[in-house]
Chain A
Amino acid sequence: MVSGALSALGLSLLAYLAGLWIQRHTGNKPYMHPVVLAILLVAFVLALLDESATDAYLEHNMLLLDLLMVAVVAFSVPLVDNIKLVLREFGRLLAVVALAAVFIAGSTIALCYAFGIDAATMAAFSFRSVTNPIAIAIAEQNALSVDLAMLGVSITGVVGILTAEHILAALRITDPRHVGLVLGITSHAFGIARALEISSLAAAYATVGMIVSGLLYAFAVPWLLRFLPL
């Protein structure tokens, strides 16, 4: 039991460290994200083993999932750190985050209908721009598929960091506050990492954007789900 737990936690840790090592030795490219590399490594190892090994791996890694939920509470620290920024432009920031959240959720649901995607998947994708820990909490609390929610969040984050700056430049949006906020709202933690490379101001706006939109979605999704044909 103990050795199983240690092996499972060890596999996650080793895969993550390997991901970090590969990222550093390939020039810190945004698409060489250590988490993405770690997932591929873990999935590869699990694919070599039988189904029961996958179940055991997931069961023994529950500790990391619990710590992830505690980490959501820890997001209060960057929020409080940036509270002056939030209060200085509170109305405008809230307007951008709320309108963007409505647009992102609305356009996702509309595209799901257009692509013939079922209601359960649609519900799990409706909060796809929220950071992973909050998305897991929302999915679990509202009995939605955590796996589909993670798929939506991950694809959104990766596509966002790879394309956001090109799209924004094409729209002549170059102010680091605007770029940071967009990265935080649309690409969550992936976006904050990218915003940090632009400037500390961009990173502060990205942090505020990610946390405020996460809070907004967490309170709005249970209400929104009443209108979906689940």
Chain B
Amino acid sequence: MFVPQLLGVLLLTVVYVFSTQFVNHLQSSIPGSVVGLVFCAVAMLALPAARTRIRPGAVVLLGLVPLFLVPVLARMAVRIDFSSPTIWRALVMLCIASLVGVAATGLLAKLCLRKD
């Protein structure tokens, strides 16, 4: 019971630990988890069996991402001083930047992607 899921999580953890060590060895500013994502994608494309083993664990972890985010976002909610005018200025700026970003990305997608 849950053996495929646990094996998948274990394999993903091994890739994460290896890629973090790799990044630390290179003293790179690129996150180890992102390098692990690339390593894992390459491994799964090269070895279809690896994909079968990793998938159950990935499904579990990706489904639980919202739960994993709760403490880090709660820390943000507790630590950031929302009574500060600077933060409110930043919030207004973020809202404007988000609206502009959506419009520009939409126009770029329409311009660059062909119609089927």
Contacts and interface: CB of A to CB of B under 8 A. Distances in A.
Interface in B70-101: 70-80, 86-87, 89-101
**Chain A binding surface SS class:** helix
B7 to A, nearest CB: 13
Contacts of B80: 147-148, 151
Interface of B: 9, 12-13, 15-16, 19, 23, 28-34, 36-38, 40-41, 44-45, 51, 54-55, 57-59, 61-62, 64-80, 86-87, 89-110, 112-115
Nearest to B20: A69
27 contacts: A8-B71, A35-B69, A69-B31, A69-B33, A72-B34, A73-B15, A77-B44, A78-B62, A79-B37, A80-B41, A80-B45, A92-B113, A100-B101, A100-B109, A104-B104, A116-B89, A128-B98, A140-B31, A150-B76, A151-B76, A151-B91, A156-B98, A171-B106, A173-B110, A175-B110, A177-B113, A182-B102
Contact of B37 (A104, A160, A215): A215
Contacts of A46: 74, 78
Nearest to B62: A74
Contacts of A28: none
Given A92-B112, A96-B113, A111-B96, A104 B55 contact: no
Interface in A11-68: 12-13, 15-16, 34-35, 38-40, 42-43, 46-47, 54, 57-58, 61, 64-65, 67-68
